[in-house]
Structure 1
Amino acid sequence: MKVKSWTALALSACMAASLAACGGSGAGESGTKGAGETKEAGESTGESDAKSDASGAELSVTIWDNNQEPGIKEILADFTKETGIQTKISVVKWNEYWTMLEAGAQGGSLPDVFWMHSNESERYMSNDMLLDLTDKIKESDKIKVENYPEDIWGLYTYKDHYYAVPKDIDTIALWYNKKLFDEAGLAYPTADWTWDDLTEAAKKLTKPDGSQYGLALKMDNNQAGYYNLVYDKGGYIINEDKTRSGWDDPKTIEGMNILAGWLKDGVIPSAQTQTENGEDVLLQSGKAAMALQGSWMVAAYRDNEYTAENCDIVELPKDAVTGKRVSIYNGLGWAAAKNGKHTEEAWKLIEYLGSEEAQRKQAELGITMSAYKGTSDAWAKSAKFNLQAYLNMMDDMVIRPYSKSTVTWETADNEIITKVYTGELTMEEACKKMAEQMNEKLAEEK
C-alpha cells in the first residue's frame, strides 16, 4: 500500500457524500445513493442444494443501492447454485459507502467484492488496493473486452491494467407527471421537444404559491442535469487529455445559462427546498411536474405507488440550434480487494456477474441497464414506463467527465453552483470560478 499517496488523498473520500453515485448527483435521490437503512449485517444468498465449495469461502459483497439489492441477491443465489460459493450482501448508503471503504482500505479489511465508481476508481487503483484482473480477463471465456463499452473499461483501467469488470451503463431521460400535465391542459413531452419547449411548459406548470414547480433540478445534479445542457451547446467540462477545465468556454456558459433562466423564472425550487427534498421526493409527491433523471432511478419510481401510476419517461429535449441531444453516461464496475482472503473466489464471482448470462438477467429483472452489449433490450420491458427512451439516449453519449481528482473539483463546483441558486453569483461568474478552481486541481494531478 502506498501510504503517503493514500493519506494525501484521503480527504477526498470524506467529501464524496455530495457527489454522484451511479451516474448523477443529488444526495436526496434514493436510487442514486442507495436509499434505505444501512444493513449492519448482510444476508446470505446461499442455497441448501448448492454444490460443495472446497474452500469454504463466504464472500462479502457490498453495494450502495437498496433498490438493486433484491435482484442482485437473486443473481448471487444463481452463482451459489453453480459454484457452491456462498455470498453475503450488505447495502451501505452512498453517504457512508466511501467512508466505509476508506476505513477498510487503511485497515486491510475491504469487502471481498464491491462496487467501484469513476469518481474514486483511480485513487484505489493507483494505491494498489484493488485486485488486478488483467490476466484473469485475458484467460476468461466469459469476459471479452470488446463486449462492453470502451469508455466504461477506461474508468477502471490504470496503466493498461484492468481493476474492475463493467457492471452497468446508464443514460439520462426526462420524467414527467401525466396527471399534472393533464390538469394544466398541456400535451405530454415528446422526443421532438427542444429545451425551449421544456422551459415554456415548466413556466405553465409552476404555481406562484410554491406548491408546484415545473421542473426539479438540484444544485449538484451534474450527470443527470446540467452537464447535458453544456454538451448539447457544444461546451465541455474537461478536455480530452484532462489538463484543462471547460467551464469558462463560451458554449459551456451558454448551456449553463439555460439553467440560469430556469432559476430566474422560478420554475425550479430553491436551494433550501431541494436540500430538504430531493428531485425524487418532489416528483413522487406531485410537487414537481418534470425532472431529469438517470436510468438508475427506474426501480425507485417503479416501486413508488404515485410515480408508477402518474409518471412516464421521454428522451431528453434537444438543442434548438445545434440539434444535439446528448446523454452523459457512466457505469459502475465490480471490483475485488487485492488483499482479500478469497481472491480466487472473488474473481469467480466478478466473472459471473459480468457474464452475458448474469448481465442479461440483471436487465430482465429490471435492476438496471447492463454493460454487456446487446443485453439491455429486456430491461426496456421490465416496467410499464417508456424505458425505450433511455435506450434511445445511447445514440449520442458522452462519458461522465472525470480525472484523478474528480471528487475534489466536483465538490468545489457544487459549492459554487449553489451560490447561483441563492443569488450570490451570476452563472457566468460561477462558471469562471469553477474553471479557475478546477484548473488548479488539474495542475496538481501532474
Structure 2
Amino acid sequence: MGIRKYAMLGALALATVSSFCIPAQAEDVTITVWSLDRDIQPAPNLIADYNKLNTGIKVEYRQIQFDDVVSEAMRAFSTGQAPDIIAVDNPEHALFASRNAFLDLTDMIAKSEVVKTANYFPGPLASTMWDGKNYGIPKATNTIALYYNKDMFKAKGLDPEKPPQTWTELVDAARKLTDPAANVYGLTFSAKANEEGTFQFLPWAQMAGASYENINAEGAVKALDTWKTILEEKLASPDTLTRSQWDSTGTFNSGNAAMAISGPWELDRMVAEAKFDWGVTLLPVPEQGAERSSAMGDFNWAIFANTDHPEEAFKVLEYFVSQDNRMFKDFGQLPARLDIAIPETGEPKKDAALKVFVEQLKYAKPRGPHPEWPKISKAIQDAIQASLTGQMTSQEALDQAAAKIKAVLD
C-alpha cells in the first residue's frame, strides 16, 4: 500500500469523524473502556486521538490484566460497575453474550455507515456472534502458519521453494531435517496443557473434518496420531508438551529446529534474530485438496448491556473501526478486515510472510463460540497430554474428551 493510498484512507477517516459526533452538551458524556492494551498498543492511543476531536463524548481508559478479565468484568457487570466498552479475548465473547452481559449490536451495525460486516474475515466476525445476533466488533486478529528454514532445506536436499503442503510431507521433511548430532529438531510447536495447546491442535482436527463437537472423529484421531508420531520419533523436542508457543518458536529462531508452527507475532523477532534464510507457508493439510483451517486469536470490542450511554458507546466503537487501517501500520497488529491491505515494511521476508498469514486468515475459525469454552478446551488439552505421554491411545483420549464435551453441551 503506497503513500497515496494512506492519504486517501486518512482523508476517509477525517471525513467520517462527523458521524461519530453528537451535539455538544453542557457536560461531556463519559464513556469508560477496559482493555489489556499497553501504551504502545491500540486502545490508549485511539482513545487519546478520539478525545482530541471534542465530540461531546469523553473516553476514559483503564488497563486490566489478562487473567482478571472474565472474573473482574463479570463481577463489575453484576454489581452495576461495568465499563461501557471492553476488549475481550475472542473465545470468551460467547460467555458474556450468552449471559446477556453484552449489548446486542445487530440493529446498530445494520444502520452504521462505518461498521460493515461484509468487510471482516469470517472467523473473527463469527466470534462476535451468539444466537444469530451480533454482540461485538472484531478488534484485531492473528493466526498460525508454518515457518521453515530454507538454508536447512537446501542442506538436506529439500527444495526451499517447495515447503510441506500435506501432513505426510511435513512428517517426511521433519525426518530428513532432524539432526541430533547438531541439536536440530525437524519441527517445533506447542502442545502445552493450556489454551495454546488447543489453539495449535484444533485446526488440525478441523482440517480433517472434526470439530470440538465431534472431537473423537476419525480425522481428529489421525491428527493426534500424527502429533504422536512426531513426538515418539523425536522429530520435535520432548518439552513440546510444556513449552509455550513463544518459547517453542525460539528454538526455531535460534537454529535448533528446522520448522515451526507459530504466528505473525514472531515476525519482528525473526527479522531481528534469525541468522538464516526463512519463509512461511500455509498450514499443511491432511491430503491435497482437503479443507483448510487455522487458529484465530486476538480480541473483540463489546459494549456492556447495562451501559447508560449505548449510542455514545457505539459512536466510540465506530471511531475505533474507522482507524483499523492503523492497526498494522501503527501497532503491528493484523486488522480483522478483508478490505484493508497490509502495507509493505521494507523487509522482503517479513512482507512475504505477511501475505501468507493474511491468506491463512481466510480459513481461520474461532474456538467455539461457546459460553463454556474453557471446559471444552480443557477436555481437548487433557486428551492431547494423555495421548502424547502414552497414557492412552489417541482414540481413547479423544473418546474421553468427547464424553466430557458432550456433558458440557448437554
The TM-score bracket by the shorter chain reads: 0.7 to 0.9
Aligned residue among 130, 144, 163 for 1:172:
144
The 5-angstrom pairing of residues 92-171 of structure 1 reads: 92-149=64-121, 152-171=124-143
**Aligned partners of 1:285 and 1:96: how far apart in 2?**
33
The 5-angstrom pairing of residues 12-161 of structure 1 reads: 55-56=27-28, 59-64=31-36, 69-83=40-54, 85-149=57-121, 152-161=124-133
Q: Which residue of 1 aligns with 2:332?
A: 367
Aligned residue among 195, 198, 202 for 2:174:
202
**1:232 maps onto 2:199 in alignment:** no
Aligned residue among 270, 274, 282 for 2:242:
274
Matched AA of 1:260: K
The TM-score with structure 2 as length reference comes to: 0.78
**Aligned partners of 2:373 and 2:128: how far apart in 1?**
14
**Aligned partners of 1:91 and 1:310: how far apart in 2?**
38
1:216 touches 1:288 (CA, 8 Å); kept in 2?
yes
- In the TM superposition, what is the alpha-carbon distance from 1:425 to its structure 2 partner? 1.9
Q: Which residue of 2 aligns with 1:46?
A: none
**1:249 maps onto 2:217 in alignment:** yes
Across the aligned residues of Structure 1 and Structure 2, the Cα RMSD in angstroms comes to 3.5
1:354 touches 1:372 (CA, 8 Å); kept in 2?
no
**Aligned partners of 2:357 and 2:25: how far apart in 1?**
40
1:109 touches 1:340 (CA, 8 Å); kept in 2?
no
Larger deviation, residues 265-274 vs 344-353: 265-274
Matched AA of 1:424: Q
**Aligned partners of 1:340 and 1:83: how far apart in 2?**
21
Q: Which residue of 2 aligns with 1:188?
A: 160
| Superposed structure 1 runs of 4+ greater than 6 Å apart | none
The TM-score with structure 1 as length reference comes to: 0.72
- In the TM superposition, what is the alpha-carbon distance from 1:262 to its structure 2 partner? 0.7
**Aligned partners of 1:378 and 1:307: how far apart in 2?**
23
- In the TM superposition, what is the alpha-carbon distance from 1:407 to its structure 2 partner? 1.4
Judging changes above 3 Å, is the alpha-carbon distance between structure 1 residues 380 and 260 closer, same or farther for their aligned structure 2 residues? farther
Q: Which residue of 1 aligns with 2:360?
A: 393
- Report the structure number with the largest CA radius of gyration: 2
Secondary structure of the residue aligned to 1:193 is coil
Secondary structure of the residue aligned to 1:365 is helix
Matched AA of 2:51: T
1:224 touches 1:293 (CA, 8 Å); kept in 2?
no
Q: Which residue of 2 aligns with 1:19?
A: none
Between the two proteins, what is the percent identity of the paired residues? Answer: 22
**Aligned partners of 1:106 and 1:275: how far apart in 2?**
36
2:123 touches 2:296 (CA, 8 Å); kept in 1?
no
Matched AA of 2:211: I
1:365-409 CA distances to partner (integer Å, 9 max, x unpaired)? 35333233311x225658641211112224545444433322111
Judging changes above 3 Å, is the alpha-carbon distance between structure 1 residues 407 and 208 closer, same or farther for their aligned structure 2 residues? same
**Aligned partners of 1:53 and 1:215: how far apart in 2?**
60
2:97 touches 2:130 (CA, 8 Å); kept in 1?
yes
1:239-274 CA distances to partner (integer Å, 9 max, x unpaired)? xxxxxx312211221222211111111122224763
Unaligned runs of 5+ in 2: 1-22
Q: Which residue of 2 aligns with 1:26?
A: none
Judging changes above 3 Å, is the alpha-carbon distance between structure 1 residues 398 and 97 closer, same or farther for their aligned structure 2 residues? closer
Secondary structure of the residue aligned to 2:52 is helix
1:154-175 CA distances to partner (integer Å, 9 max, x unpaired)? 4323344432112234333112
1:318-340 CA distances to partner (integer Å, 9 max, x unpaired)? 33354444334466321122334
1:178 touches 1:312 (CA, 8 Å); kept in 2?
yes
**1:319 maps onto 2:286 in alignment:** yes
- In the TM superposition, what is the alpha-carbon distance from 1:237 to its structure 2 partner? 1.5
1:65 touches 1:93 (CA, 8 Å); kept in 2?
no
Judging changes above 3 Å, is the alpha-carbon distance between structure 1 residues 116 and 193 closer, same or farther for their aligned structure 2 residues? same
**Aligned partners of 2:226 and 2:173: how far apart in 1?**
14
